[in-house]
Amino acid sequence: MRRMSASFGSRVQNEDIWRVVSIETLAAQWQSDLQFLVKVTRDSDRKHVHQLQAAGLGNVEWMDACDTEIGDVVVTTPHRSQAAVLYRPSDLHHGLQLTNRCNSNCLMCSQPPTPQADDWMVREAVEVIRHMGSSPPVLGLTGGEPLLLGEGLREVLDHVHECHPSTRVEILSNGRLLANAPLCKAVVDGLQTPTTWLVPLYGHVDFLHDFVVQAHGAFEQTLAGLLNLQQHRQPIQLRIVLIKPVLDVLPELCTFIGRNLPFVKEVALMACEPIGFALANRELCEVDLADWQGTLEQAARQLKRHSVPFLFMNTPLCALPTDLHGHAHRSISDWKNVYTPVCEPCQLKPDCAGFFAWHERGWKPAKTIPITREEYTA
């Protein structure tokens, strides 16, 4: 989340959701049930806002925050003179966090869960959805575990459909609660929002998966959840984070997926984000993927053999064997995506996922080796 210093007109008193507009675009966008912050660059803009307020517009205020963009949806924190961007139309990736609670405790969780009630996060997400002035092609919904909202998750999905019917939603969920068939039905039956479920699987036998997610019984529940999703014809992307205990069995896990879960849309193989619990479990999570290229190739062979599509995420191209480069995606959200000085001469930088901004505090998923176009085509 991008936070920035900001000053506001006096009607911004609380933490609240607003759409950022320019004085020129306000008239075309104004709706009585939304709140608008006019980004001011001149005194005349501020005066214009005061005139509109005097004329009775109660949902318009000015903001001075040079780092915001027109169209941003922000949450204001006036007592700290701050605004935080929750949606930026110009970003490549868009996501909303629905809860910080979770029923698992994954070894490499990038956002360690907290137990407190946090229903305000759902209300905030719904307000952001209402205030988005453009419809992103894809909107990620994450937690914690979004299914802890129960049928409340369906309300969020229905809001997306109502406000942004062209938007596809991707829900990052451990899938365990979908083992409950009535809950699964309540969330997906008759759903009009195009939805893909992103569900992690870390082992081909129960104790491996349960160890990685630190929850007894999770493997059985996740498999039952996947089968329930399949019954409702919901698209599924399986997610595999490449930490040591998973890499140790990756080819076997991919064979298991090919044999038992051939209905999944694709498998995403993801480098670990060096933050959160991953830092506390560094001995299990820090790997140099360049040392595991043979394992990645074996896993890819198994998935190809069973015709299961796959992709690599968060993975610098120099960590991958050349013949797998075509499967790599630029997947790291814009605000946390960086490259190292070593990347500057690299010919593959425009296509490369690069690194998480916090790799310097943690680690890089591989030694960075700039690649020239000549080497690449040789």
DSSP bridge partners of 239:
200, 268
Residue 325 interacting with ligand SF4 (CB under 6 A):
no
Identity of the residue, 154 or 327, whose beta carbon is nearer to ligand SF4 in the bound complex: 327
> How many chain residues interact with ligand SF4 (CB under 6 A)?
15
User: What's the closest the beta carbon of residue 357 comes to ligand SF4, in angstroms?
Assistant: 14
Whole-number Å distance between alpha carbons of 119 and 121: 5
Cα-based angle 55, 66, 38 (whole degrees, multiple of 5): 15
Residue 339 interacting with ligand SF4 (CB under 6 A):
yes
Residue 159 interacting with ligand SF4 (CB under 6 A):
no
How far, rounded to the nearest angstrom, does the alpha carbon of residue 144 sit from its chain's CA centroid? 11
Q: Which stretch binds ligand SF4 (CB under 6 A): 202-210, 221-229, 249-257, 341-349?
A: 341-349
Buried b (16+ CB within 10 A) or exposed e, 220-234: ebbbbbbbbbeeeeb
Residue carrying structure tokens 């997926």: 257
Residue 332 interacting with ligand SF4 (CB under 6 A):
no
Residue 343 interacting with ligand SF4 (CB under 6 A):
yes
User: What's the closest the beta carbon of residue 365 comes to ligand SF4, in angstroms?
Assistant: 9
Q: Which stretch binds ligand SF4 (CB under 6 A): 241-249, 266-274, 300-308, 311-319?
A: 311-319
Using CB under 6 A as the binding rule, the residues of this chain from 345 to 374 that contact ligand SF4 are 346, 348-349, 352, 354, 368-371
Give residue 183's region: left, alpha or beta (phi > 0; psi -120 to 50): alpha
Binding-site member from 317, 324, 328, 332 for ligand SF4 (CB under 6 A): 317
Cα-based angle 279, 348, 312 (whole degrees, multiple of 5): 50
Binding-site member from 98, 318, 324, 332 for ligand SF4 (CB under 6 A): 318
Identity of the residue, 106 or 371, whose beta carbon is nearer to ligand SF4 in the bound complex: 371
Burial environment of residue 116 by CB neighbours within 10 A (0 to 12, 13 to 18, 19 or more): exposed
Parallel, antiparallel, or unpaired: how do β-strands 16-21 and 36-39 relate? parallel
DSSP sequence for 88-140: -TT-S--EEE--S--S---TT-SS----S--HHHHHHHHHHHHH-SS--SEEE
Identity of the residue, 136 or 362, whose beta carbon is nearer to ligand SF4 in the bound complex: 362
User: What's the closest the beta carbon of residue 354 comes to ligand SF4, in angstroms?
Assistant: 6
Residue 328 interacting with ligand SF4 (CB under 6 A):
no
User: What's the closest the beta carbon of residue 61 comes to ligand SF4, in angstroms?
Assistant: 42
Give residue 298's region: left, alpha or beta (phi > 0; psi -120 to 50): alpha
Other C-beta atoms closer than 10 Å to the C-beta of 288 total: 12
User: What's the closest the beta carbon of residue 138 comes to ligand SF4, in angstroms?
Assistant: 23
Helices (H), the chain: 26-29, 43-54, 119-131, 152-163, 181-188, 206-213, 218-231, 244-247, 250-260, 277-280, 282-285, 293-305, 373-377
User: What's the closest the beta carbon of residue 342 comes to ligand SF4, in angstroms?
Assistant: 6
User: What's the closest the beta carbon of residue 351 comes to ligand SF4, in angstroms?
Assistant: 8
User: What's the closest the beta carbon of residue 341 comes to ligand SF4, in angstroms?
Assistant: 10
Residue 316 interacting with ligand SF4 (CB under 6 A):
yes
Whether the Cβ atoms of residue 198 and residue 229 lie closer than 8 Å to each other: no
Identity of the residue, 225 or 354, whose beta carbon is nearer to ligand SF4 in the bound complex: 354
Q: Which stretch binds ligand SF4 (CB under 6 A): 166-174, 199-207, 285-293, 310-318?
A: 310-318
The footprint of ligand SF4 (CB under 6 A) covers 316-318, 339, 342-343, 346, 348-349, 352, 354, 368-371
